C-alpha cells in the first residue's frame, strides 16, 4: 500500500518509514501459513495534543538482534517518536495484539488531551484514532 485515506499523514509517514527500515534491515515478515517470521503488524499511535507517537511492533518472537538498530534508525528519521514497543504474539489467533508489551525504547504510552481531559494511551488501549472525530464525539456526549 502507498497511502491510507483515513489515516493522519504523520502516522502514514511513520508507518511507511518503519516498513522501509524493516525491509532495509532484512527483518522477516510473519507468514501465517507457516507460522514463521518476526513482524506481524505495525501500529502507530499519535497524540493530537503534542504530536508525540509510539510505535508498536507486533511480533511472533520476543527478540531480534536488529531491534536496537531498528530503534536507532527509526528515532533518527522521526524525532516525534516517543517510544517503541514490542508486543509479543506467538500464537495463531485473529486478535491483533498479544498479551505482553515489552518497551524497546522510550515510553510505552502517549498522552493526549480532549476537552481538558487527559488520557494515557497504551499500545492496546481502545482509543478513537481520529482525534478530530473524537473531539466531536465527546462534545456530543
Helices (H) and strands (E) in the chain, counts: 3, 6
In eight-state DSSP terms, residue 28 is P
Alpha-carbon Rg for the chain, nearest whole angstrom, is 15
**Annotated binding residue 133:** no
The rounded distance, in Å, linking the Cα atoms of 52 and 22 is 21
Angle at 17 between CA 129 and CA 47, to 5 degrees: 30
Q: Closest Cα to residue 110, out of 14, 3, 2, 6?
A: 14
- Can you say how many angstroms the Cα of residue 108 is from the centroid of all Cα atoms in its chain? 10
Q: Which residues are annotated as a binding site?
A: 128
Q: Which residues are annotated as a binding site for S-adenosyl-L-methionine?
A: 128
Amino acid at each position: 500500500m502507498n497511502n491510507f485515506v483515513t489515516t493522519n499523514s504523520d502516522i502514514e509517514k511513520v508507518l511507511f518509514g518503519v516498513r522501509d527500515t524493516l525491509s532495509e534491515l532484512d527483518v522477516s515478515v510473519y507468514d501465517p501459513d507457516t507460522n514463521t517470521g518476526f513482524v506481524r503488524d505495525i501500529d502507530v499511535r499519535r497524540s493530537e495534543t503534542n504530536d508525540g507517537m509510539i510505535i508498536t511492533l507486533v511480533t511472533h518472537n520476543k527478540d531480534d538482534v536488529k531491534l536496537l538498530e531498528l530503534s536507532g534508525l527509526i528515532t533518527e528519521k522521526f524525532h516525534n517518536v516517543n517510544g517503541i514497543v514490542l508486543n509479543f504474539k506467538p500464537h495463531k489467533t485473529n486478535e491483533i495484539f498479544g498479551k505482553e508489551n515489552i518497551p524497546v525504547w522510550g515510553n510505552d504510552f502517549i498522552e493526549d488531551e480532549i476537552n481538558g481531559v487527559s488520557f494515557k494511551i497504551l499500545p492496546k488501549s481502545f482509543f478513537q484514532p481520529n482525534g478530530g472525530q473524537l473531539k466531536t464525539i465527546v462534545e456530543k456526549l
